[in-house]
Amino acid sequence: EAGVTQFPSHSVIEKGQTVTLRCDPISGHDNLYWYRRVMGKEIKFLLHFVKESKQDESGMPNNRFLAERTGGTYSTLKVQPAELEDSGVYFCASSQDTVEQYFGPGTRLTVT
C-alpha cells in the first residue's frame, strides 16, 4: 500500500510569488489534514478535509492560504502571495478512522 506522498519535496520561491503544494493521501482515506512546522517550533494544524469538504480550517493563518481537495482525492495548498514567515515544512496526513493519522514526508518551503 502506497503511503502519503507530497510534491514537491522542496520549493524555494521569492517573496510575493505563488506556490502550490500537493498531497496525495493513502487510497481510501476520507480524512486529509495539513500541518505546518515553522523554524523548529511546534507542528501546527492548518485544516482538515473530510472527502472534499473542509471540516475544520481553524488553523489557516490568513487568506493568502487556499486549500482544495478535488473530488475527495488529492489536495493542494496554495500560498499567494508568499511571505517570508511562510517558510517552513508543510506536512500532509491522511486517516481512515480519524484516530491514526499517517504523515507524508513533508514539503520544505523556503521564501527568500
Partner 1 sequence: AQSVTQLDSQVPVFEEAPVELRCNYSSSVSVYLFWYVQYPNQGLQLLLKYLSGSTLVESINGFEAEFNKSQTSFHLRKPSVHISDTAEYFCAVSDPYGNKLVFGAGTILRVKS
**DSSP E strands, the chain:** 5-7, 10-13, 19-24, 31-37, 43-50, 53-56, 65-69, 75-79, 88-95, 102-103, 107-111
Q: Which of 19, 48, 75, 90 binds partner 1 (CB under 8 A)?
A: 48
Q: State yes or no: residue 65 binds partner 1 (CB under 8 A).
A: no
What would the grid cell of residue 68 be?
A: 482544495
Q: How far is CA 98 from CA 21, 49, 83, in A?
A: 23, 11, 32
Q: State yes or no: residue 97 binds partner 1 (CB under 8 A).
A: yes
What would the grid cell of residue 85 be?
A: 514567515
Shorter beta-carbon distance to partner 1: residue 65 or 91: 91
Shorter beta-carbon distance to partner 1: residue 4 or 111: 4
How many CB atoms lie under 10 A from the CB of residue 49? 23
CB of 63 to partner 1, least distance (A): 20
Shorter beta-carbon distance to partner 1: residue 19 or 49: 49
CB of 10 to partner 1, least distance (A): 11
Q: State yes or no: residue 56 binds partner 1 (CB under 8 A).
A: yes
Q: Which residues bind partner 1 (CB under 8 A)?
A: 4, 31, 33, 35, 40-45, 48, 55-56, 59, 91, 93, 95, 97-106
